[in-house]
Chains A and B, each alone.
Chain A
Amino acid sequence: MTMIFGIPIQALLGQLLVGLINGSFYAMLSLGLAVIFGLLRIINFAHGALYMLGAFIGYLLLVHLGIGYWPALVLVPIAVGVFGMAVERAALSRLYRLDPLYGLLFTFGMALVIEGAFRFYYGVSGNPYAVPPLLAGGTNLGFMFLPNYRGWVVLASLIVCIGTWLLIEKTRLGSYLRAATENPELVQAFGVNVPLLLTLTYGLGAALAGLAGILAAPVYQVSPLMGSDLIIVVFAVVVIGGMGSILGAIVTGYMLGLAEGLTKVFYPEASNLVVFVIMAIVLLLRPAGLFGRDA
């Protein structure tokens, strides 16, 4: 058996794959958080709940309406995005003029309500969501066995991250978004409907969380707590990447997933800690984050 640093290569690559999968979810979720924070200046504590909501909507579509994975991949982000826009219009938009703490408290409370409601109706045990038949099974890469669905998750998250990055960095809508992140009042004085832009942005962030949720459903179990389990790490990712930095969120998401995977191989006891150790070190050395601009 091939060994690297005394570790079988299969075990190493296996953990790297797990890390890459986790990193894919970190990247998609922290990307949405970064987009929302950049423009709305709201730390969206409901992000984990929106991710869970995405997975649950996919699950309920399947169980009650017989709508399968592929249509759900389109329907779920739309549903969670529309939900997000309604929340922004009805509640968040009234909080912008107040201390940022109110936005944080509101989204935190909303997360508790959503998670509580799902716990009440569905309990805390997970519900399985089958891998779609097209992606069942796996592929032998020669050096390791790759479950097809996991390969798809990595690919899909890369597409989503690159697509979102291009949307923000290369399109006209993205230039409104970047400009409004710097100076929303002036952009609105130029005639851009900034309140609408804020609503769309929260909707986009929510849709990204929902999409991550439905992608996650076949990997993890669909459970009311799946969001709160993940969100703490995702916040650490956003802090390490630099609050509001899009590229930082994406790159850091994958990097930390891989770092976790590697730690599992070499020092498993620390694998749950490593992200926070990195966060502490980054905050000491570069308080604005790896990709953050010094404000």
Chain B
Amino acid sequence: MSEPLLAVRDLHAWYGEGHALHGVNLDVLRGETVTLLGRNGVGKTTTLRAIVGLVRERSGSVVFNGSDLIGLPLHRVARQGIGYVPEERGIFATLTVDENLILPPVVAKGGMSVDEIFDLFPNLKERRNSPGTRLSGGEQQMLAIARILRTGVQMLLLDEPTEGLAPVIVQRIGELLATLKKRGMTILLVEQNFRFAARIADRFYLMEHGKVLEGFPVAELAAHTEKLHEVLGV
């Protein structure tokens, strides 16, 4: 078995006094798509933020591609090859679509060119000179993912990419992620909608109270359905 691309061990995180993560352990293998499931507030978003370093108060280890990210300044993490798409999408209102797209610096070869991205997202090309936040929610989500694809990162951290979007857009995002997966992108996905996640994920981790409760491959999803309903309350 190959070394995991991302190995998180005993990750704790705090927001001021609040202890948000209580020792998260998870692995993501190269090329794998892994989904974190769990109710609101169990620490899924915090896990992603602690991995990239947006939560500074943390302990434990986050080993990516053989090097520990915990001691690195925030801006050095992306340069190791991790791209982050936040839940709120983080599209900048004072930047045009074009400027939003080329904002994240290229960190490695192998990213898509702007032309390739516009082929994939013709809507963005049409509106390249509009302010970023004039786009629809779905287009903003596409832009948030597209700008990371340009940077050549090996791994994508995606926080609830389908939240609040119409089914047809959700469908498109699913297709996009499937395409990325085929190209060899490693993806760590936070998703409430496990039916959506089931179509692209190789494995799942179920989180509760700031910890990973258990992990299982997609083949065992059916066996876990009852438990998921109980834990997720869906």
- Which A residues are closer than 8 A to B by beta carbons? 172, 175-176, 178-179, 181-183, 185-195
Contacts and interface: CB of A to CB of B under 8 A. Distances in A.
27 contacts: A172-B102, A175-B103, A178-B92, A178-B95, A179-B95, A182-B93, A182-B94, A183-B90, A183-B92, A185-B54, A185-B74, A187-B103, A188-B74, A188-B75, A189-B53, A189-B74, A189-B75, A189-B84, A190-B84, A190-B103, A191-B76, A191-B104, A191-B107, A192-B103, A194-B74, A194-B75, A195-B75
B93 A189 contact: no
Nearest to B83: A190
A178 B105 CA distance: 15
B144 to A, nearest CB: 10
B151 interface: yes
A68 to B, nearest CB: 41
Interface string B151-189: 100000000000000000000000000000000000000
Contacts of B54: 185-186, 189
Given A189-B53, A190-B104, 4 more contacts: A182-B92, A190-B105, A191-B105, A193-B75
Contact of A186 (B77, B86, B93, B94): B86
Nearest to B76: A191
Contacts, number: 62
B78 A191 contact: yes
B79 interface: yes
B99 interface: yes
B53 A191 contact: no
Contacts of A183: 90, 92
Contacts of B103: 175-176, 179, 187, 190, 192
Nearest to A190: B104
Contacts of B143: none
Interface string B66-95: 000000011111110001101000101111
Contacts of B99: 175, 179
A191 B102 contact: no
Contacts of A182: 92-94
Nearest to A175: B99
A139 to B, nearest CB: 41
Interface string B90-125: 101111000100111101000000000000000000
Nearest to B106: A191
Nearest to A193: B75
A196 B119 CA distance: 35
B149 interface: no
B52 interface: yes
Nearest to A169: B94
A192 B94 contact: no
Interface string B188-209: 0000000000000000000000
Contacts of B83: 190
Contacts of A191: 75-79, 104-105, 107, 151
A175 B93 CA distance: 11
A182 B99 CA distance: 14
Contacts of A193: 75
Contacts of A181: 94
Contacts of B75: 188-195
B84 to A, nearest CB: 5
A176 B104 CA distance: 9
B94 A189 contact: no
Contacts of B79: 191
A176 B94 CA distance: 11
Residue among A178, A179, A182 with max Cβ neighbours from chain B (10 Å): A179
A45 to B, nearest CB: 26
A175 B91 CA distance: 13
Nearest to A170: B99
A195 B73 CA distance: 10
Contacts of B52: 189
Contact of B90 (A176, A186, A195): A186
A246 to B, nearest CB: 10
A176 to B, nearest CB: 7
B205 to A, nearest CB: 22
B78 A189 contact: yes
Nearest to A187: B103
